[in-house]
Structure formats: C-alpha cells, structure tokens
C-alpha cells in the first residue's frame, strides 16, 4: 500500500453550514489536515476533528495569505506525509475556484485526488435573496461570469456583446471591484438601463445584505450606501421576483445578534431554534459539563430492578448517565425494570430518543412538582435512582425521604464555569453591538458576570436586551445588575424563544 495520502477537493458551499453536502461533512470530520479558504466559515471548520491540522490559505483582493503555487506544493507535501487532506473551498471547487488547477498539479505529482462538488453561491445567494436564477416567464439562459479578473483582462476574456444581448440572467462572482466596468460593458452591449440588478452580500449567512437597483443607478447606490464585497451580482428580470419571494431576510429575528450563554452540551437546541428564525447567534457558553467518575455504577445498574423509578432532571443527566452505562458494557435494555420520570419536555425527548419510555412528566418543572407526581406512585420502602449534577438542590430527595422513599443520588456530572471571554464577543458586548443576551439558568448569569466583570454589566444596561428562561433566572440577572426585558411564560427553551419573538416583533 502506498504511503502517500489522498487529497479531497471539497466544496464547502456558500457559507450556511446547513448547505454542506453529506459527503463534505463526512470528510471534514475525517480529515487529518484541512487547508481552507477565506469564505469557509468558522462554524464549518469547527466540525473538524479537534486534532486535525488546520491551515488557512485565504485570499482577499490584492492580499494573498499564500500564493497559489505554494498552496499546490503544500497539498502535495501533506499528502506525501501519508495523511488524509481536505482542500476546503468556498462554493464549488470547479467554479472559478482553481480546483481544476490544483487537481492537475496533484495528479502530475502522483497524488490521488477526489472531487466533492459544493453548492455554488451563484445559485444559493440569489435563492436566499428570493431570486430564482431561472424562471420560464422571464428567461431561458443563465450565464455565470467571473468578475475577479483585472479590468483589461476582463475586457478580452468575456464576450460582452453576446453576454449583454438577450434577456438571460447574468451572475457575476467576485465582481464588486469591477462593478463600474461590468455595468459599462453591459449597457454598451445593449442591456437596458432599467434592467434590475441585485447585489447579495454574505449570501446564505445571518449577516446577509441585499441591495436592489438597476444598471442605471447601481454604481451610485453602492457608493452612497457603502456596500462592500464579498457579494454576488445578479442582473436580469428575475430580480423583480424578490419582492414576492424574499424569505431569508423576512424571518422574525433576521439580523438580530443573540448571545447564547447556555452550556455547550445544551446550547444546540436553542441555537438551532434561533437560527431557524433568522437570528445571528453568537455562542458564549458560561458553563462546561464535566462528567464525573461513578465508582458504584456497575453495582447500581446490575441491581436496577430494585428501583421503582429513575428520575432525570436534565438533558445532561440523561446523556452522561447513559454514556457512563454504555462504557461499562451495559445496554439500554438493562434499564427495562424501573419507570422513568423526566423533568421537562426536552429531558423527556432526550430519553425517548434513546428508545426508552417516559412514564411521567410533571406539568411544572420544579422539584416540588416532581415529588408530588412520584408520591402518587411510590411509597415507603420504594427505591428511586436520581442521576444528576453535583451540588444540585436537595429539595427533591428531602421531600421523598420524608415519606419513607429510599433515594439513591448519583452525582454523574458537574457544571463548571468557563473562564474566558473571547476577544470578538468582548468587543461586541463592549460596543453594544449585540441585540439580546439569553440566560437559561441562574448559573449562566453568575458565570457570565464572573467572565466579563461587573463594570461591563453596567455598560450593557439600556444597550442590550436580556431574555431569561424564567422568574428565578430573571431575579438573579437583576441582582447582578442587568436590566431584564424578556421573561418566558413557559420555563423551557421553546418558551424562551417564543418570548424573544414576541419582544422583537410585538406578535403574541
């Protein structure tokens, strides 16, 4: 077997991580080396194996981190080390991405290559702006043109009279610097001055901007608005359809910068819900979940039939308990004896996702409500297993033991404070450029204050809205010096999201 590795030329799509192909995502997670460009977003790179070597070779106008020739040599060098190399390129590697050049160089140097196409911004960015690049009532052709060449080269490399003729849709990639030249050539070639034009900046991302104009006034509008690259330029009658079909930037939280302070292991559901509504989510976890060693877990699971109930009080409790159990060689089926009580719908959903049945979910997500529902079914001498966090409130076991129920508490994880606020988020907070901070527990409040400092809390009052999952968290936030603007009526992630929507849109 050859010691030479393999290079995958992978299209990362236009920016939205949800537009990665399944194959691209699989390779990003497998890669030992990732060589990536400027337009490959942080959220995509974060999906890589933490141990993978990540090399940035991004290019901006008139500024190259690494010349193309050196990128080619780098790919060969890494492959010859016997490693799996992913060359990650924005959009599609074969559409103005120099993928063909890189593939040729690799082949000439005896390196195996696989091509993984990606969703191109030429189609995706207009689509996210509500512009179909083809429509049978408007056009029957689509021409995709690079706008990145020098103006003198662009003048000779593009058949302008043919491009300008007719009514087909034109899409220019990387053409903002040459916009005046492009407009001049299209008008000279016969396109009418009132032809609609749309510029889509950061297409498919939460910071997407769209400038609508015509060939006659687009250059002036760009200058007066300060509209900057990177942007896709769309020319043609299909641009008019944006008025009817725009969707991405019409969502209720579009453009709102929302900080999520929830622990990393718990944040995904809240992040996903907010992003689906258009928010620009910045993850700033204040809590990390650390599993704890459980010396007697084997004994407990072996004797699981002696328990009437297992009570899960959090999603983390479910995940860590099951993970620890599987590590000891047990199976989910070993938990068939006791019934399961879960606090809250999210915890219940996590239990069900593992193939287990949930017998009870209290209407209120408080220890007192859990005790009440359990005591309807359990009495003196019954045993209950309570896997949960170190330092959790003692109310639940105390209420149960008062009625003679035997409660075995199992401390399986601890929530520990994060210790650092990254510079990007610190600056955004300091400048008041965040719209909403979310708090999902009192500990997230306390930990954020510890990370950012009390002085910064004072500067945020009146600048940034604060949204809390419930009244207890809200009171903690007020005690810490925050002004609280939003409190969920239902103390769940869904309730918090709904409260944020209502606060931002006035909808009930």
Q: In the prediction, which pLDDT does 60 show?
A: 59
The most confident of 113-122, 339-348, 360-369, by mean pLDDT:
113-122
> Among 37, 92, 382, 435, which one carries the catalytic annotation?
37
Q: In the prediction, which pLDDT does 285 show?
A: 74
Query: 331 and 232, same structural domain?
Result: no
In terms of pLDDT, which residue wins out, 44 or 155?
44
pLDDT confidence bin for 133, thresholds 50/70/90: very high
Q: In the prediction, which pLDDT does 266 show?
A: 54
Pick from 118, 143, 174: which residue ends a domain?
118
CATH code for position 38:
3.40.1010.10
Q: What is the pLDDT of residues 316-359, one digit of tens each?
A: 899 899 988 888 888 888 888 899 999 888 788 889 988 889 99
Query: 211 and 127, same structural domain?
Result: yes
Please tell me whether residue 360 adopts helix, strand or coil conformation: strand
Query: 294 and 363, same structural domain?
Result: yes
Q: In the prediction, which pLDDT does 391 show?
A: 83
Q: Is there a catalytic annotation at residue 194?
A: no
Q: Is there a catalytic annotation at residue 334?
A: no
- pLDDT > 90 in the chain, percent: 61
Average pLDDT of the residues in 393-417: 89
Could you tell me the pTM of the whole model? 0.76
The string over 84-109, giving b where at least 16 C-beta atoms fall within 10 Å of a residue's C-beta and e elsewhere, is bbbbbbbbbbbbbbbbeebbebbeee
Query: 392 and 451, same structural domain?
Result: no
Which of 204, 203, 200, 202 lies closest to 212, judged by CA? 200
The total number of structural domains that make up the chain:
4
Q: Indicate whether 256 pLDDT > 80.
A: yes
Query: 262 and 213, same structural domain?
Result: no
Residue-averaged pLDDT of the chain: 90
> Among 16, 78, 89, 174, which one carries the catalytic annotation?
174
Query: 423 and 409, same structural domain?
Result: no
For residues 220, 224, 229, 231, the Cα torsion angle rounded to the nearest 10 degrees is -60
CATH code for position 231:
3.30.950.10
CB 141 within 8 A of CB 35: no
- Note down the domain range covering 14: 6-118
Average pLDDT of the residues in 369-391: 90
Q: What is the pLDDT of residues 441-459, one digit of tens each?
A: 888 898 889 888 888 888 8
- Residue 222 has a CB neighbour count (10 Å cut-off) of 20
Average pLDDT of the residues in 224-244: 96
DSSP label of 482: P
Average pLDDT of the residues in 231-251: 97
Query: 142 and 48, same structural domain?
Result: no
Pick from 88, 118, 148: which residue ends a domain?
118
Average pLDDT of the residues in 4-8: 91
Query: 271 and 225, same structural domain?
Result: no
Q: What is the pLDDT of residues 259-295, one digit of tens each?
A: 998 655 555 778 889 999 999 998 887 777 888 888 8
pLDDT confidence bin for 506, thresholds 50/70/90: confident
CB 216 within 8 A of CB 194: yes
1 within domain boundaries: no
| Chain position carrying tokens 């409500």 | 369
The residues, ordered by sequence, that sit 6+ positions from 384 with a Cβ below 8 Å of its Cβ are 307, 308, 309, 310, 311, 374, 378, 400, 405, 406, 407, 408
Q: Which two tokens stand for residue 449?
A: 């204050």
Q: Is there a catalytic annotation at residue 174?
A: yes
In terms of pLDDT, which residue wins out, 157 or 102?
102
CA 37 – CA 45 distance, rounded (Å): 11
What are the φ/ψ torsions at residue 367 (nearest 5 degrees)?
-60, -40
CATH code for position 370:
3.40.50.10090
| Chain position carrying tokens 């076991």 | 397
Query: 164 and 175, same structural domain?
Result: yes
Query: 390 and 352, same structural domain?
Result: yes
H/E stretch holding 172: strand 169-173
Q: What is the pLDDT of residues 168-196, one digit of tens each?
A: 999 999 999 999 999 999 999 999 999 99
Q: Indicate whether 312 pLDDT > 80.
A: yes
Q: In the prediction, which pLDDT does 508 show?
A: 59
In terms of pLDDT, which residue wins out, 444 or 197?
197
pLDDT confidence bin for 1, thresholds 50/70/90: very low
Average pLDDT of the residues in 235-240: 97
For residues 164, 168, 172, 177, the Cα torsion angle rounded to the nearest 10 degrees is 40
Query: 431 and 485, same structural domain?
Result: yes
Q: What is the pLDDT of residues 462-471, one digit of tens each?
A: 889 999 999 9
Longest dimension (CA), the chain: 91
């Amino acid at each position: 077997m050859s010691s030479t590795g393999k290079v995958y030329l992978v299209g990362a799509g236009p920016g939205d991580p949800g537009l990665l192909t399944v194959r691209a995502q699989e390779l990003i997670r497998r890669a030992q080396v990732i060589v990536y460009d400027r337009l490959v977003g942080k959220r995509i790179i974060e999906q890589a194996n933490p141990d993978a070597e990540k090399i940035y070779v991004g290019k901006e106008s008139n500024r190259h981190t690494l010349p193309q020739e050196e990128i080619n040599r780098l790919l060969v060098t890494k492959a010859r080390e016997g490693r799996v190399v992913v060359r990650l390129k924005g959009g599609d590697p074969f559409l103005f991405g120099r993928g063909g050049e890189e593939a040729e160089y690799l082949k000439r140097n005896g390196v195996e290559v696989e091509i993984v196409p990606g969703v191109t911004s030429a189609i995706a960015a207009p689509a996210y702006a509500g512009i179909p690049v083809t429509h049978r009532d408007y056009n029957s052709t689509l021409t995709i043109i690079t706008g990145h060449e020098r103006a003198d080269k662009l003048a000779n490399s593009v058949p302008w009279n043919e491009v300008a003729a007719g009514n087909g849709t034109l899409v220019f990639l990387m053409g903002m610097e040459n916009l005046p030249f492009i407009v001049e050539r299209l008008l000279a070639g016969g396109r009418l001055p009132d032809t609609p034009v749309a510029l889509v900046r950061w297409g498919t991302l939460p910071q997407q901007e769209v400038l609508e104009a015509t060939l006659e006034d687009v250059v002036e509008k760009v200058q007066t608005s300060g509209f900057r690259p990177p942007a896709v330029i769309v020319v043609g009658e299909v641009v008019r359809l944006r008025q009817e079909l725009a969707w991405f930037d019409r969502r209720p939280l579009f453009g709102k910068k929302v900080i999520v302070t929830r622990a990393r292991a718990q944040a995904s559901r809240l992040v996903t819900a907010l992003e689906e509504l258009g928010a620009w989510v910045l993850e700033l976890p204040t809590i990390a979940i650390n599993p704890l060693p459980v010396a007697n877990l084997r004994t407990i699971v072996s004797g699981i039939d002696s328990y009437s109930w297992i009570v899960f009080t959090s999603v983390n409790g479910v995940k860590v308990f099951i993970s620890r159990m599987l590590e000891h060689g047990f199976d989910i089926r070993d938990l068939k004896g006791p019934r399961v009580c879960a606090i809250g719908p999210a915890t219940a959903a996590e239990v069900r996702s593992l193939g287990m049945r949930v017998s009870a979910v209290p209407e209120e997500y408080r220890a007192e409500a859990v005790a009440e529902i359990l005591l309807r079914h359990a009495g003196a001498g019954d045993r209950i297993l309570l896997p949960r966090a170190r330092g959790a409130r003692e109310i639940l076991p105390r209420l149960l033991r008062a009625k003679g129920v035997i409660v075995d508490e199992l401390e399986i994880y601890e929530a520990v404070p994060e210790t650092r606020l990254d510079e990007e988020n610190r600056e955004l907070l300091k400048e008041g450029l965040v719209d909403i901070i979310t708090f999902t527990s009192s500990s997230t409040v306390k930990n954020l204050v510890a990370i950012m400092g009390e002085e910064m809390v004072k500067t945020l009052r009146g600048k940034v809205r604060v949204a809390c999952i419930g009244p207890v968290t809200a009171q903690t936030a007020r005690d810490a010096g925050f002004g609280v603007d939003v409190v969920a009526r239902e103390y769940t992630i869904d309730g918090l999201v709904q409260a944020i929507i209502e606060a931002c849109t006035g909808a009930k």
